[in-house]
Structure 1
């Protein structure tokens, strides 16, 4: 055997030994991301949520987030997102495809409460970790999946929004002798109006409800409903409209003088603050379904998120973007805590988890550690002389003040006079 042959064989052996000794590259964590990518809810809600997912996933994979999220990946494993349009007539089939064909480790998604009502039991049936990032009906864990194992929600329910709205009216001295509501005729709108009106009964000694309007979701035209509101002359109009429906209501209602005759409370109005700044009348009470957007507390993480989002997309993030970021950071916090990103590790770490998002602290405090609560805030819209939209008279409410305690159903807690509440 020649010298050159012996050297070649030795080199080959060293290469093979090194290859055997080197650990195999970790498989990426496949993650389904479900949000509205088409239809009326896409522009104000779905696309901002998708944009946030793209931004956050890239930053998580690169390890470029502020501390404590500045390690790369989910416990070192990269995220491989699969985006799915929530605007589908076969939501359950789309979910099944993510699980059975695409082989995702988890799903993060769903804006509409009707979507979540369909998907939560499916997630339990298929035993797939699913983090609901936005939908608000409290029915998910109070009535539909009462002992969740695989389903989590990383944002608070509609109860928080509407208890806080009632408290804001009381705290700012708005006249509430006559109240009215215009809410979409499905779980989200029905639950929102129920929780608001029941809260008003407790806080304001049963004001007169002069009209309740429940148009179908995505109706778009609200002429008859606005006429009913104008005729009934309420002091306050409550609306949980969101997305395109909320924008249409603002445009049509303000054109007919509704917002000047009554104080209008838009529990999900923050998404239109900038796009409809010249249509929203001063004095409109605005919520963001949590302390998101202009209501977010100051922090290095919030500063990074707002700057990075605006630089990339040319506009400031609104609350759907914040809530997607909040969900993904919850998943990262769980993976880093567990030291692994497989489903069982994530479920164990997510249960009862507390983490910080751009909007502050989030606590999985309800539904056996599967339902989040957090602080919230409301403000009053004002357009400055230079055309800048802003919120004034902002009041913040602690999570314990506006969310039911563990084990209590939302409406029963409200009717009890908010038993067990701690309001600072």
Structure 2
């Protein structure tokens, strides 16, 4: 018996496999490929005025979900380990620094970091800047927040998705709530940030008011810069010409500053404050938040979420990890990662169980639907790449017993009532009187 035959016979008794040409033996399990890793870039504000109320909570939501997915601890249909058996490895990037920096960071994530997909962005200006770059590189980008409708109304993409409804829904629902509650409005003021999101909110609110409150007159129209922080001049202007309603789409640290600075001066006793999205600042403001403020959260999420087994699991999972209740940014991160997970697993199934390409994942996510803690998400706009979802509006009321701000007098608006139909521009749809709107309360 030759030396090679002797080695092969010995290897077979040990359960090894030897090459027919060289005396190299390996165990069968060592020869098999280890499960692939899915590397995920997560971009959100980790510093700056938006970090406390939006960025860090959404990053925490991603950490909690990735841990649950990797441990196969999420409920069905999210109970497969990782993404279809692939361990999810998250790389976190700070969104602070402006759009130019974010474009550079995105290229780094796809290039040097080698991520398979990016989920991210709170700021509308950042989303408008990075979307064309992801498309140019043909890499998958899932925007979990950023409200401007312009992402898919001004451009067409194949590799860019947004798994949350855009801000037109917020303002349509806000004005419908005013009508539904019989609130008389003969005048209104506005204070919105001077960038894409602020301008879009202002426009959609004003056009909605023209349709449903044609006699209401716009008054003070303020556009402070993003991150201004000090609003003494703006508060004086609003108080000098008080209106029945004051609309603001400020968010994060800016919104907190407006409330804290305007409250002691009595601004909110002279006007009905309405905010398309505001629940994210309620924990930090506490009793400083005036009662009766009308607000939403761009979805039936956070304090406005409906009870369901999936929502119960999410609240418990997040609260156990971070000792606080998830609010809007956390919910939007959850619905993004859940949608991406199902898309990856659908693409894997169609790819013979192999790791799918970005194009295959994009095809699986396009026109998809899935259940999230905040209800059903449907990729119904932007040629199947922009989500719609139900939303809700309510009023604030501080609970002295629990020392938290509750949201009461809530009204739910189905997605078909407050989102434009496919391929319609939001502004045109509102101006036309909401043609095709369905199931409005």
TM-score norm. by structure 1 comes to 0.96
Contact residue 159 and residue 359 of structure 2 kept, 8 A: no
Out of 210-219 and 260-269, give the one that drifted further.
260-269
Paired residue for 2:411, among 395, 417, 420? 395
Counterpart residue number, 2:365: 350
TM-superposed CA distance for 1:11, in Å, is 3.8
1:254 paired residue among 263, 267, 281:
263
Aligned to 2:334: 325
The Cα of 1:21 is off from its aligned counterpart by 8.5
Is residue 33–residue 84 contact of structure 1 (8 Å, CA) maintained in 2? yes
Q: Out of 197-206 and 110-119, give the one that drifted further.
A: 197-206
Instruction: Determine the C-alpha separation between the residues in 1 that align with 2:8 and 2:40.
Output: 49
User: Which of 110, 119, 129 lines up with 1:118 in the alignment?
Assistant: 129
What's the offset of the Cα at 1:385?
3.5
Aligned to 1:56: 65
Aligned 8 A contact 1:124 1:151 in 2 = yes
Whole-Å separation in 2 of the counterparts to 1:206 and 1:417: 16
- 1:406 pairs, out of 389, 406, 422, with 422
Q: For residue 235 of structure 2, what is the aligned residue in structure 1? A: 226
Alignment partner, residue 308 of structure 2: 299
How far residue 174 of structure 1 moved from its aligned partner, in angstroms, is 1.6
Q: Report the Cα distance in structure 2 between the residues aligned to 1:109 and 1:59, rounded to whole angstroms.
A: 19
Q: Name the SS for the 2:394 alignment partner.
A: strand
Query: 2:40 maps to which residue?
Result: 31
SS at match of 1:72: coil
Is the counterpart of residue 66 in structure 1 residue 72 in structure 2?
Answer: no
Displacement of 1:6: 8.3
Say whether the 8 Å CA contact 1:74–1:341 is kept in structure 2: no
1:140 is aligned to: 151
Query: 2:383 is matched with which residue?
Result: 368
Matches of 2:7 and 2:128, distance apart in 1: 69
Could you tell me which residue of structure 1 aligns to residue 109 of structure 2? 98
Q: Where do residues 310-321 of structure 1 align in structure 2 (5 Å cutoff)?
A: 310-321=319-330
- Structure 2: segments with no counterpart, 5+ residues: 18-24, 350-354
Is 2:275–2:295's contact at 8 Å kept on the other side of the alignment? yes
CA distance in 2, matches of 1:399, 1:189: 22
SS across alignment from 2:39: strand
Please say if residues 32 and 104 of structure 1, whose CA atoms lie closer than 8 Å, have aligned partners that are also in contact: yes
| Consecutive aligned runs of 4 or more in structure 1 exceeding 2 Å deviation | 4-23, 336-342
Report the equivalent of 1:416.
432
Q: How many Å separate the matches in 2 of 1:49 and 1:142?
A: 26
Preserved CA contact (<8 Å) 1:309 1:315: yes
**Aligned residues between the structures:** 422
The answer to whether the Cα contact below 8 Å between 2:65 and 2:334 also exists between their aligned partners in 1 is yes
| Residues 177-196 of structure 1: pairs in structure 2 closer than 5 A | 177-196=186-205
Report the structure number with the largest CA radius of gyration.
2
Report if the CA contact (8 A) 1:353-1:363 is conserved. yes
